[in-house]
């Protein structure tokens, strides 16, 4: 994202028009000047004011509420302003045109408001990543888990760990450089090893939680079994729509079909696959079978509709087409369903939701991205090396590595490419 931080930017930050009320947000050194130009006067900071919005060239545009947030007490840490206008497309376009052509403001890039908040210290990288996922959350479980990190509690805990490691580093330096003196405020040598070990244990608790990526992407449920075992019919029944072609002709499904779905508030990606058999003479069907096998290998949950006991290890046995007298019954803990009558579908979905809750982060747990987990694992590993080290120079270096990994998590050390990738995931206006 090649942008000039000195620019004043604007964007529609509310929902797509037409809507009842639209919010046009501005941030940068000219935000106050632009708002005053269009509304006649600035309201008191952080208080809404009713104004007539006028363009010196186009005339009256709308009657709107306006807000003024002088730096640094604003969402981005810069001067910010908002216009809450009527949500018709023509009204929004007229105000945006006045800001761009009449006031010299620039349209914001995706995620640019959040990036400025990050650069100006209004949020750290953990909060920014959680906010990105929060904006795309579609299920209650996603919202409940991500709220924990987006609210700053994860950052507070990480900052506490960093302070403990910094104190341990100071104690090591005291042993190295001031062995005959007592430094006020620095833990004695007998304490720093215990501090490092304790922080590593607490980090392990975070590492044991599934990543936020899995929560964002949803668990993969793959329907597998031989041809004509009812996979596509069950796929449609779970989705409650005709997403897959259903036919009595074996080999109708040639490629994997996937659809996102929330079941019991848990996010999943449901995948229908080609029938598995080893005697296909059809080259296209053989490719579909190969892809089906690959989907089974990468699945989080497999619903096996084939003969009992012939599915992959850990698969959930499902007896399909129970409305047909010729349909074989499975024993044990198998679930029996009918896509035609919907018998057993609710029970199957309850079982799927329960499995999902077991394998995804739970509300109250801290879920971080795979990239952040790698950094956290590096920090925990460095702390475990530091604690038993007899060589204080090695201990000092290990503690430095741990601090660096935590700084990377908070974003105090970060590459431009990584930041571009993160903030590019945001919508325009956020």
Class of domain 137-208+367-413: mainly alpha
For 85, other C-beta atoms within 10 Å of its C-beta total 23
- Residue 281: what pLDDT? 58
Domain assignments of the chain as residue spans, ordered by start:
9-122, 137-208+367-413, 219-359
pLDDT tens, position by position, 369-409: 898 999 999 999 999 998 887 788 898 899 999 999 999 88
- Residue 173: what pLDDT? 81
- For 217-255, b where at least 16 C-beta lie within 10 A, e where not — what string? ebbbbbbbbebbbbbbbbbbbbeeeeebeeeeeebbbbe
Q: How far is CA 348 from CA 230, 318, 352, 354, in A?
A: 15, 9, 6, 10
Bridge partners of 52? 63
Q: Mean pLDDT for the chain?
A: 85
pLDDT tens, position by position, 317-353: 998 877 776 666 776 667 888 888 888 899 999 999 9
The mean pLDDT value for 407-420 works out to 70
Bridge partners of 82? 25, 67
Residues 426/132, Cβ–Cβ less than 8 Å? yes
Of the two residues 114 and 428, the one the predictor is more confident about is: 114
Band (6; pLDDT cuts 50, 70, 90): confident
- 219-359 is classed CATH 3.90.550.10: no
- Residue 92: what pLDDT? 96
d(CA 322, CA 339): 9
31-40, 255-264, 279-288, 355-364: range with highest mean pLDDT? 31-40
Longest Cα–Cα distance in the chain: 88
Band (28; pLDDT cuts 50, 70, 90): very high
Residue 146, both tokens: 């991500």
Q: Match 């949020």 to its residue by tokens.
A: 123
Class of domain 9-122: alpha beta
- Residue 96: what pLDDT? 96
- Residue 111: what pLDDT? 86
Residues 367/212, Cβ–Cβ less than 8 Å? yes
- Residue 231: what pLDDT? 86
- Residue 332: what pLDDT? 66
- Give the strands of the sheet with 316-319, arranged side by side: 257-263, 266-272, 219-224, 301-304, 316-319, 335-336
Residue 166, both tokens: 């910094």
Half-sphere exposure of 127 (CA within 13 A, CB side): 18
Q: What percent of the chain has pLDDT over 90?
A: 47
Question: Has this prediction a pTM greater than 0.85?
Answer: no
- Residue 414: what pLDDT? 54
Residue 126, both tokens: 């953990």
d(CA 397, CA 42): 54
d(CA 164, CA 154): 16
Of the two residues 109 and 288, the one the predictor is more confident about is: 109
Band (292; pLDDT cuts 50, 70, 90): confident
pLDDT tens, position by position, 227-284: 888 888 899 889 887 665 555 555 555 678 899 999 998 999 999 988 887 666 577 7
Band (16; pLDDT cuts 50, 70, 90): confident
pLDDT tens, position by position, 148-162: 777 788 889 999 999
Residue 378, both tokens: 């590096």
Q: Match 């990526």 to its residue by tokens.
A: 213
**Three-state SS letters, the chain:** CCCCCCCCEEEECCCCCCEEEEEEEEECCCHHHHHHHHHCCCCCCCCCEEEEEEECCCEEEEEEEEEEECCCCCCCCCCEEEEEEEECHHHHHHHHHHHHHHCCCEECCCCHHHHHHHHCCCCCHHHHHHHHHHHCCCCHHHHHHHHHHHCCHHHHHHHHHHHHHHHHHHHHHHHHHCCCCCCCCCCCHHHHHHHHHHHHHHHHHHHCCCCHHHHHHCEEEEEECCCCCCHHHHHHHHHCCCCCCCCCCCCCCCCCEEEEEEECCEEEEEEECCCCCCCCCCHHHHHHHHHHHHHHHHCCEEEECCCCCCCCCCCEEEECCCCCCCCCCCCCCCEECCCCCCCCHHHHHHHHHHHHHHHCCCCCCCCCCHHHHHHHHHHHHHHHHHCCCCCHHHHHHHHHHHHHHHHHHHCCCCCHHHHHHHHCCCCCCC
């Amino acid at each position: 994202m090649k942008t000039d931080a000195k620019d004043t930017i604007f964007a529609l930050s509310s929902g797509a028009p037409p809507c009842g009320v639209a919010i046009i947000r501005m941030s940068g050194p000219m935000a106050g000047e632009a708002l005053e130009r269009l509304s006649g006067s600035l309201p008191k900071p952080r208080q809404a004011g009713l104004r007539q919005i006028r363009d010196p060239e186009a005339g009256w545009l709308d009657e709107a509420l306006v807000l003024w947030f002088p730096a640094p007490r604003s969402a981005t840490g810069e001067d910010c302003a908002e216009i809450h206008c009527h949500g018709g497309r023509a009204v929004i376009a007229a105000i945006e045109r006045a800001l761009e052509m009449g006031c010299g403001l620039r349209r914001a890039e995706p995620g640019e408001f959040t990036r400025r908040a990050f650069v100006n210290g209004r949020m750290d990288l953990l909060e920014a990543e959680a906010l990105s996922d929060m904006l795309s959350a579609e299920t209650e479980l996603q919202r409940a888990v991500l709220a924990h990190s987006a609210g700053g509690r994860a950052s507070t805990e990480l900052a506490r760990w960093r302070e403990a490691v910094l104190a341990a580093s100071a104690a090591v330096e005291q042993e190295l450089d001031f062995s005959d003196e007592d430094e006020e405020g620095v833990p004695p040598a007998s304490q720093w090893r215990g501090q490092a070990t304790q922080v590593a244990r607490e980090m392990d608790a975070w590492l044991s939680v599934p990543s936020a990526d899995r929560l964002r992407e949803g668990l993969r449920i793959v329907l597998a079994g031989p041809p004509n075992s009812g996979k596509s019919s069950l796929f449609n029944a779970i989705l409650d729509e005709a997403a897959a072609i259903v036919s009595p002709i074996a080999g109708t499904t040639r490629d994997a079909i996937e659809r996102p779905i929330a079941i019991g508030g848990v996010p999943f990606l449901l995948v229908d696959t080609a029938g598995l058999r080893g005697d296909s003479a059809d080259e296209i069907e053989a490719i579909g079978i190969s892809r089906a096998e690959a989907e089974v290998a990468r699945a989080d949950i497999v619903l096996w509709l084939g003969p009992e006991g012939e599915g992959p290890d850990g698969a959930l046995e499902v007896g399909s087409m129970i409305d047909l007298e010729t349909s074989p019954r499975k024993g044990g803990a198998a679930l029996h369903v009918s896509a035609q009558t919907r018998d057993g579908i609710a029970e199957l979905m309850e079982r799927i939701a329960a499995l999902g809750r077991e394998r995804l982060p739970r509300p109250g747990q801290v879920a971080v991205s795979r990239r952040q987990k790698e950094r956290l694992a590096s920090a925990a590993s460095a702390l475990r090396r530091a604690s038993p080290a007899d060589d204080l120079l090695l201990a000092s270096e290990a503690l430095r590595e741990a601090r660096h990994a935590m700084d990377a998590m908070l974003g105090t050390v970060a590459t431009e490419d990584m930041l571009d990738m993160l903030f590019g995931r945001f919508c325009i206006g956020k």
